[in-house]
Amino acid sequence: MSSALSPSLDVVAVGNAIVDVLAHADDAFLEAHGMAKGVMTLIDADRAEAIYRAMGPGVECSGGSAANTAAVIAALGGRPAYVGKVRDDLLGAVFRHDIENAGVAFACKAAADGVSTARCLILVTRDAQRTMNTYLGACRELAEADIDADLVASAKVVYLEGYLWDEDNAKAAMRRASRIARAAGREVSLSLSDPFCVNRHRAEFQDLVRDEVDILFANEEEALALFESTDFEDALAAIRPHVKLAAITRGAKGCVVISGNATHTVAAQPVYDVVDTTGAGDAFAAGFLRAHTQGFGPEVCGRLGNMAAGRIITHFGARPERPMADLYVQATA
């Protein structure tokens, strides 16, 4: 069933609204604090305090996986909205400012009480890898009531971040968003977010992918984890029957897009000055969806995804520093 109205938005992204605190660190720091390099770990307020006290001088900027994706879609010239929960505190105001002024419609009321806006303490090592420690704070308040049916139905794609599965309220909100989108004839897109996140919620993610997801985003490790595949070809075969499109990112090797029986391997352009890989996957999804919502096929979608990710890793932080309209023009030429 298709909605009577043609969609006015490209993508509504739903995710954890987080302010990132980025600092450089060495491997010894990660080890001393028992951190697994390259992954996202949920932490409580006390551990957040302890890590912050120990880590180097930081740079604060808005983050959150799906929010980064929304910001990159806007930088690429698309029309995104974002739903995520902040507190009405100073960091919440920073988050709202940054997402709105990036050109994204921010469609979620701030919490008037309770814990503070979420923070992610990100340690960036010399190898440009990022190790993330997330204090969810106000994100835990995201609930079904925050999902506006008209908003979701007005977008071609609803994009859900897997990280939301860590909270029951948020999970209910995502299920509602998915229901609304499907009822309106829109597409549902899911990012698996993190291999540890997949391990925590494998059965539910499998059900989602089988029953609700049209477009799946994962990196290689997450794709393997989803159906506990032993090699990459197995993972593709396990995922293929369930979704219209799946884009599996492989770092410097680019991505593989599967679509029905077709498999498209899209090489990445080499990036010589990788500074910080924070947000690479988020930017990839943005590029992919920006092209997809304009009707481009898997090759172009993968190419723009690769290009957006390649741009974002040349600087510190996961949000675009400038408009990326040039990439859209280049990828779709």
Residue ranges binding a copy of itself (CB under 8 A): 24, 52-53, 55-62, 71, 89-91, 94, 97-99, 101-102, 315-317, 319, 321-322
Using alpha carbons, select from 313, 101, 306 the residue that is nearest to residue 328: 306
Give me the least distance between CB of 171 and a copy of itself, in Å please.
Answer: 29
Nearer to a copy of itself, 9 or 67 (CB): 67
Residue 110 phi, psi dihedral angles, 5° rounding: -75, 145
How many residues does the structure list for the chain?
Answer: 333
Q: DSSP of 266-287, one letter per residue?
A: EPPPP-S-----TTHHHHHHHH
Residue 289 tokens, joined: 């969806």
Shortest spacing between CB 100 and a copy of itself, in angstroms: 9
Query: Which CB, 5 or 50, lies closer to a copy of itself?
Result: 50
Of 98 and 187, CB closest to a copy of itself = 98
Taking the complex as a whole, how short is the minimal distance between the CB of residue 30 and a copy of itself, in angstroms?
Answer: 16
Name which of 281, 265, 267, 266 is nearest 313 in CA terms.
281
* Cβ closest to a copy of itself, residue 103 vs residue 251: 103
Nearest in space to 119 (alpha carbons), one of 30, 22, 34? 22
Distances (CA, A) of 249 to 15, 170, 190, 197, 266: 20, 26, 14, 17, 10
CA distance 119 to 86: 10
Q: Give 11 or 170: the residue with its C-beta nearer to a copy of itself.
A: 11
Least separation, in Å, of the C-beta of 312 and a copy of itself?
A: 13
Shortest CB 113 distance to a copy of itself, Å: 17
Q: Among residues 22 and 301, whose Cβ is nearest to a copy of itself?
A: 22
Shortest distance in whole angstroms from residue 56 CB to a copy of itself: 5
- From the number of C-beta atoms within 10 Å of its C-beta (0-12, 13-18, 19+), residue 77 rates as middle
| Among candidate residues 268, 286, 274, the one with its CA nearest the CA of residue 314 | 274
Residue with tokens 């995922």: 239
Instruction: Name every residue whose Cβ is closer than 8 Å to that of residue 20 and which is 6 or more positions away in sequence.
Output: 60, 61, 62, 63, 119, 120, 122, 278, 317, 318
**Residue 95 CB, nearest distance to a copy of itself (Å)?**
10
Choose between 212 and 276: whose C-beta lies nearer to a copy of itself.
276
